Structure 1
């Protein structure tokens, strides 16, 4: 599940409004109990992502101007997350997405922009219902429960070039993100902006007492127009996430033809 690509596509679609031109999750702190992770640090990191493939967990994400939380529940083929965006200049936007089987519901709060566009203000409390079977470009949504990790930690750990165990359940090192193509946390635009710096990004990973990934933090250095920031993802409630629920019927409107055209 590539959250970066998904949110870009959905936010673009949400801006296409008929008649308008586009103008806790519970923290997963590792315990002090002895970890069941492999002794070799690289193997421990790679093994820590295996449980993510089961698609039953909650997560939080934070990055450059983005914060969010959500759940993945593969047993019911459902996903739900809330994301907030801030461009650093005072403008903000928030989005909530629910996906169950072949249906998606998206609610967008356009923040300050809604004050000048009445149609945007009306969408603040409404979910647009999107029938995924009507979308030809399925990658635009990119909610793939066969690859349910929102950050793509498995791909990132395969790119680890150096790692040490620095404390119980805690690992630090460096990774070469220059060749990573299937991570939701680090996309190609960021890699391009970082240049050679992408080849030696520092990271810290924390596992829970069963050797499962609990937290991944990657400090990103300043480069060009990219300011220094930290990408941080946490995972919790393995095997205990609740299925996503449809929004109330009185809060749902059908997505417009203009919205569907964005994905054709």
Structure 2
């Protein structure tokens, strides 16, 4: 199961125009990093996992994503209204591609490594190795670039945990169980077409989860069986540096160009 935004088009929606301003944390809120060990983790396993994603909503963390042929990592930093994400994709056919996204309110940039695909896109050579500065008015009209603008969590873990049907605590901070993927198709970590291909299997996908001492989600692994053309694999999401992520940095000025019309067109449905 490919993570929904694990194509060049849908990945862009995650961080190019995130809802950081609308969801900006109150400056008076205490920092989540380090934190106190006095936080009470719910004794009920499902309640513990539901509560574990609350800190993600505050938008100050780093994360990694991995799955079928793809790996990525990044950060979300609401205090500076910024975010950054990089990914690499290799489908095993010898063709690979990559992307880096940077958002610092009100600007965003994208660097694309389209591999062999770049040779088929007019003007791609002109932007190779460059950060393309994006016109926000064009982003909002460019299909996939404007999807999920209000989401802070790149994997939608809160939605996934709501789909849990079975769960048990196996050790301190460790859980295992099953979740109903068909009930979480609005999560950005699920590909709706693959969920459909899984059929009844989608209703009981095995997962493991880990929480830190403060009850915050640090790892979620979903085991996905083979379906259609997709081989069996794990989707893994990790979170770290709650409350202590660093702000995204602007790309070097000498590596910035304005985004081409071809770039906006590539993201359209």
TM-score, scaled relative to structure 1? 0.83
Mapping 1:89-128, distance limit 5 Å? 89-113=93-117, 120-128=124-132
In structure 2, the partner of 1:160 is 164
Separation in structure 2 between the aligned mates of residue 64 and residue 6 of structure 1, nearest angstrom: 10
C-alpha distance 231-48 of structure 1, shift in aligned 2 (>3 A) = same
Q: 1:104 to 1:50 in 2, by over 3 A?
A: same
Equivalent residue for 1:129? Answer: 133
> Structure 2: how far apart are the matches of 1:179 and 1:106?
32
Aligned: 1:183 with 2:187: yes
Alignment of 1:205-224 (within 5 A): 205-224=209-228
Give the drift of 1:120: 3.9
Q: Is this contact kept in 1: 2:159–2:184, CA < 8 A?
A: yes
Distance in 1, matches of 2:146 and 2:87, equals 16
Cα distance in structure 1, aligned partners of 2:141 and 2:108: 15
Q: Establish whether residue 86 from structure 1 lines up as the match of residue 106 from structure 2.
A: no
In the other structure, the counterpart of 2:53 is 49
The 1-side partners of 2:4 and 2:200 are apart by 22
Relative to structure 1, the CA distance from residue 118 to residue 227 in structure 2 (aligned partners, 3 Å threshold; closer, same or farther) is: same
Q: CA RMSD in A?
A: 2.6
Instruction: Indicate if the aligned counterparts of 1:76 and 1:243 stay in contact, CA closer than 8 A.
Output: yes
Does 2:190 align with 1:199? no
Per the alignment, residue 241 of structure 2 pairs with 237
Deviation at 1:146, TM superposition (A): 4.4
1:110 Cα deviation from its structure 2 partner: 2.2
Structure 1 residues 142, 239: closer, same or farther in 2, change over 3 A? Answer: farther
Structure 2: distance between partners of 1:228 and 1:6: 17
DSSP-derived class of the 1:141 partner: helix
Gaps of 5+ in 2: 13-36
Alignment of 1:140 onto 2:144: yes
Question: 2 CA distance for matches of 1:239 and 1:54?
Answer: 8
Question: Equivalences for 1:64-83 in 2 at 5 Å?
Answer: 64-83=68-87
Structure 1 residue 116 displacement after superposition: 8.3
Aligned 8 A contact 2:173 2:213 in 1: yes
- Structure 1: stretches of 5+ with no match in the other structure: 13-32
For the residues of structure 1 that align with 2:210 and 2:245, how far apart are their CA atoms?
Answer: 20
C-alpha contact 2:142 2:264 (8 A) present in aligned 1 = no
Whether the 8 Å CA contact 2:8–2:99 is kept in 1: the answer is no
Shift of 1:246: 1.1
- May I ask how many residue pairs the two structures share in their alignment? 242
Aligned mates of 1:11, 1:175 — CA distance in 2: 24
Equivalent position of 1:27 in the other structure? none
1:212, CA displacement in angstroms? Answer: 0.1
User: Which one of 59, 66, 72 corresponds to residue 63 of structure 2?
Assistant: 59
